[in-house]
């Protein structure tokens, strides 16, 4: 191996950033508008389960779900009295050009609401904190 290249082992917990767009359904008489969201999630080793946080115009939310090679699914729950008080289910499929395209669904009263969403996911490569700590 080339001595000038520093490599780090993959951490047990892997961190991902996520950013994208979604339809915002403000009312049944208005057409959907585009809103933006961003956040992060973490994944433990080879396990597919994820946990993280997102923020969008409706507020801050937690997410829990699963990431596989070409699918991402999670449930989003808003915190602190959001304008959307529902569990929102997201389903993404990885496209051939690297974006993740999908839908979200939730119940609003007696209605089932569905919207479109697109995002990009990036693995955040961080050095192993324990190995690079200056206190060692």
Between CA 127 and CA 7 the distance in angstroms is: 9
Between CA 114 and CA 104 the distance in angstroms is: 6
Q: Is residue 88 part of a domain?
A: yes
pTM here is: 0.78
Q: What is the CATH number of the domain that holds 66?
A: 2.40.160.90
Enumerate helices (H) and strands (E) in the chain, giving the number of each: 1, 8
Q: Is residue 7 part of a domain?
A: no
Q: Is residue 79 part of a domain?
A: yes
Q: Is residue 4 part of a domain?
A: no
Question: Considering the chain, what percentage of its residues have pLDDT values greater than 70?
Answer: 76
Q: Is residue 5 part of a domain?
A: no
Please report which confidence band the pLDDT of residue 128 belongs to, taking 50, 70 and 90 as the band edges: low
Q: Write the CB contacts of 55 (distance below 8 Å, at least 6 apart in sequence).
A: 37, 38, 39, 61
Between CA 114 and CA 88 the distance in angstroms is: 10
Number of domains in the chain: 1
Which residue range forms the structural domain that includes residue 64? 13-127
Please report which confidence band the pLDDT of residue 32 belongs to, taking 50, 70 and 90 as the band edges: confident
Between CA 128 and CA 10 the distance in angstroms is: 8
Tell me the two tokens of residue 86.
């529902």
Q: Is residue 108 part of a domain?
A: yes
Please state the rounded mean pLDDT for residues 121-130.
Answer: 75
Q: Which H or E element spans position 130?
A: helix 129-132
């Amino acid at each position: 191996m080339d001595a000038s290249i520093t490599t780090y082992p993959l951490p047990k917990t892997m961190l991902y950033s996520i950013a994208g767009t979604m339809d915002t359904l403000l009312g049944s008489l208005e057409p959907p508008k585009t809103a933006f969201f961003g956040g992060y999630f973490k994944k433990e080793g080879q396990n597919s389960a994820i946990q993280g946080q997102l923020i969008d115009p409706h507020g801050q939310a937690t997410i829990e779900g699963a990431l596989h090679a070409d699918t991402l699914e999670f449930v989003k729950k808003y915190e602190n009295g959001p304008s959307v008080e529902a569990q929102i289910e997201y389903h993404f499929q990885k496209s051939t050009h690297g974006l993740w395209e999908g839908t979200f669904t939730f119940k609003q009263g007696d209605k089932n609401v569905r919207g479109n969403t697109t995002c990009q996911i990036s693995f955040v490569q961080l050095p192993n904190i324990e190995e690079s700590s200056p206190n060692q």
